[in-house]
Structures are given as structure tokens and as C-alpha cells.
């Protein structure tokens, strides 16, 4: 999805992040999936993996 964005747009999106100052990577999602599978106390949750950044409607 982000492959079509130019660097100025990416920099603008990232500037809204408090921490970390980068876009998410595939391993960020993979790490969360592994955690969800291994944690037997986790169920029925919505987990937003977005560094606290909410993108507006396109």
C-alpha cells in the first residue's frame, strides 16, 4: 500500500508518530501474531498495530 507514496508523503506520515519514528515493517506484524498465538490469556481483543497513528479516510 505504501509503495506508491513518494518520500515527502512518507516523511509527513512518519512525523505524526511519537515513537517509533518510522513506518511499520512486516516483522512488526509477525511479532504481534506470534505473541497472540503464544499468549493464552489474550482473547477477543482488537489490537491496533499503528504506533498510535490514525490515518484518515482515503
Spell out the domain ranges in the chain. Answer: 24-50
pLDDT, residue 31, reads 97
For the chain, the straight-line distance linking the first and the last C-alpha, in angstroms and rounded, comes to 12
Residue 3: predicted pLDDT? 80
Q: Say if residue 27's pLDDT is above 90.
A: yes
Reported as a single tens digit per residue, the pLDDT across 40-53 is: 999 888 898 887 77
Rounded mean pLDDT, 4-17? 84
The DSSP symbol for 3 reads: G
Mean per-residue pLDDT of the chain: 85
Dihedral pair phi/psi, residue 27, rounded to 5° = -70, -25
Amino acid at each position: 500500500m505504501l509503495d506508491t507514496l513518494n518520500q515527502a508523503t512518507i516523511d509527513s506520515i512518519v512525523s505524526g508518530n511519537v515513537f517509533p519514528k518510522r513506518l511499520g515493517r512486516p516483522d512488526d506484524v509477525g511479532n504481534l501474531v506470534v505473541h497472540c498465538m503464544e499468549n493464552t490469556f489474550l482473547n477477543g481483543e482488537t489490537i491496533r498495530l499503528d504506533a498510535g497513528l490514525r490515518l484518515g479516510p482515503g
